[in-house]
Amino acid sequence: MPELLALENVRAGYGESVILDGISLDMQEGDSLALLGRNGVGKTTLLVTLMGLTELHGGAIRWCGNDISRMQTHRRAHAGLGWVPQERYMFPSLTVEEHLTVVARPGEWDLNKVYQAFPRLQERRANMGNQLSGGEQQMLAIGRALMTNPRLLLLDEPMEGLAPIIVQELARVIRRLVSDTGMSVIVVEQHARLALSLTGRAIVLDRGRVVHASDSGSLLDDRDTLDRLVAVAA
Ligand SMILES: Nc1ncnc2c1ncn2[C@@H]1O[C@H](COP(=O)(O)OP(=O)(O)OP(=O)(O)O)[C@@H](O)[C@H]1O
């Protein structure tokens, strides 16, 4: 499989303050990665750095073999990075269907396929963005990213604040995305065990550095390491 994403010794942060302190990482097409660590260690900062929203102080980011370290955010999105931010950002004046269609780009994912993945969104197709539950908003945020036909989906705490039954529903969809469609995914998640059950590989950050990298299954089985490195929520 060809290289999809590579980070080489990335140092990045906000203005002068450096949060990510030498991150190296590589992913191939079809890889799924859990990005774990305690609060404030830099997980979100890593995702927003991939989107070009931080100050890069050193190192390089390669995407499909090209150096994108200085590329603008919207061009990264066009190049195939699909970001689902923690805040979800729904528009009160757009319907569910409008949220999906305005961002559509040609490819395998279209309205029908997103509705198949999230039947609840089809039921709510005429509702406005502010008339949705938290779980529905998260489904819409993921559906919207899929409509752009990304090559890599970046999910920032997709389960945050959701009821257990919705968490299970979303987990089923993400699992299918990874295993059936071969979508490449990075998942940041406080529910470490759940994230590990959805992905093939895992890295753990601590104070802006990678302190553990392994396949997800072996970290899931290694309760001591998991408890030591990650505040385990589930
Ligand atoms: N916009 C910002 N400006 C300045 N510092 C920031 C900004 N966003 C985050 N930080 C700082 O960067 C560090 C890493 O935060 P980040 O949100 O990446 O951590 P995280 O691992 O995603 O944590 P959490 O699980 O709490 O979201 C923290 O010290 C945080 O205070």
Last residue of a domain, one of 150, 170, 197: 150
Whether residues 130 and 205 fall in one domain: no
Residues 203-212 have pLDDT tens digits of 999 999 999 9
Do 145 and 39 fall into the same domain?
A: no
Pair 72, 95 in one domain: no
Domain range for residue 133?
Answer: 81-150
pLDDT value for 87: 82
Nearest Cα residue to atom 5 of ligand 1: 14
Q: What is the ipTM of this complex?
A: 0.96
Distance 41 CA to ligand 1 centre (A): 7
**What are the residues whose beta carbons fall under 8 Å from the beta carbon of 7, sequence distance 6 or more?**
23, 24, 25, 26, 59, 60, 61, 62
Based on the domain organization, do 67 and 124 belong to the same domain? no
Residues 157 and 234 both lie in one domain:
yes
Reduce the DSSP state of residue 130 to 3 states and report it.
helix
**CB of 20 closer than 6 angstroms to any ligand 1 atom:** no
Q: Whose CA is nearest to atom 26 of ligand 1?
A: 39
Residue 92, phi then psi, degrees to nearest 5? -60, -25
Model confidence pLDDT, tens digit, residues 183-199: 999 999 988 999 999 99
76 and 156 together in one domain: yes
Query: Is there a single domain that holds both residue 191 and residue 75?
Result: yes
The pLDDT of residue 13 is 97
Q: Is the CB of 86 under 6 A from ligand 1?
A: no
The answer to whether residue 93 is domain-embedded is: yes
Residue segments in the chain with a per-residue pLDDT below the cut of 50: 234
Is 93 near ligand 1, meaning CB less than 6 Å away?
no
Pairing of strands 184-188, 32-36: parallel
